[in-house]
Amino acid sequence: MKDTKVAKQALKVTTPLHLLQTLTRTLNEHLGEACQQAENDARKALEKLNRQHTKLQEKLAEAEEKLAARQASGNDAKSLEKTQSKLTTLQQAMEELQAARKAAELYTRQLQDDIRQTLRIGKGLERIEGQAGQAIEKRGKPPAPRSKSTQAGGSPRRKRKPAEQPSA
């Protein structure tokens, strides 16, 4: 049994072709995972901004209702000023949040374009992996027999016509 184990280990000798095949496969896998993770992170950040936007809209609506109610009831100026100040602060926060959302949406669109391009370019890694696999397979097989015309000097050649002598 020990002999077969040694024989199997001898067959699994790592060559540069094996290394290339493994590296391209793992690089492509990690690249795909990293792209997916980046897309998920961007989506989560955008969702968080959307939740914040919804909450801020609710707070703004409440503040506007309080201001309208206090103006209608004729409350003192200090109370009105305080409510107006809060409303102004919430409106500024809404503007900042909308700018952050636009930036996040732009980033997400750019990220998706980058991911598509990266994965398209990454297809080259799959081709390299396949070529390395083919080279590994061919290494153990004898070369295909050549025809007589290609054995002598590479590619078959045509016979040349003798050059004509100019008549003088």
In order, the DSSP letters of 106-133 are HHHHHHHHHHHHHHHHHHHHHHHHHHHH
Kindly tell me if the per-residue pLDDT of 159 is higher than 70.
Answer: no
Give residue 85's pLDDT band: very low, low, confident or very high (50, 70, 90).
Answer: very high
What is residue 76's predicted lDDT score, i.e. its pLDDT?
A: 82
The number of beta carbons lying within 10 Å of the beta carbon of residue 139 is 9
Kindly tell me if the per-residue pLDDT of 112 is higher than 60.
Answer: yes
Most confidently predicted of 46-55, 77-86, 133-142: 46-55
pLDDT tens per residue, range 4-26: 665 555 556 688 989 999 999 99
pLDDT tens per residue, range 38-58: 999 999 999 999 999 999 999
The three-state secondary structure class of 90 is: helix
Q: Percentage of the chain with pLDDT > 70?
A: 76
The model carries a pTM of 0.64
For the chain, how big is the Rg over CA atoms in Å? 36
Residue 126 neighbours by CB under 8 Å, 6+ apart: 24, 28
Rounded CA-CA distance 77/136 in Å is 86
Domains of the chain from N-terminus onward: 13-140 (1.10.287)
38-42, 73-77, 101-105, 158-162: which has the minimum mean pLDDT? 158-162
Give the side-chain half-sphere CA count within 13 A for 161: 3
Give residue 168's pLDDT band: very low, low, confident or very high (50, 70, 90).
Answer: very low
The better pLDDT of the pair 168, 148 is held by 148
Residue that is written with structure tokens 């280990």 in the block: 9
What is residue 72's predicted lDDT score, i.e. its pLDDT?
A: 86
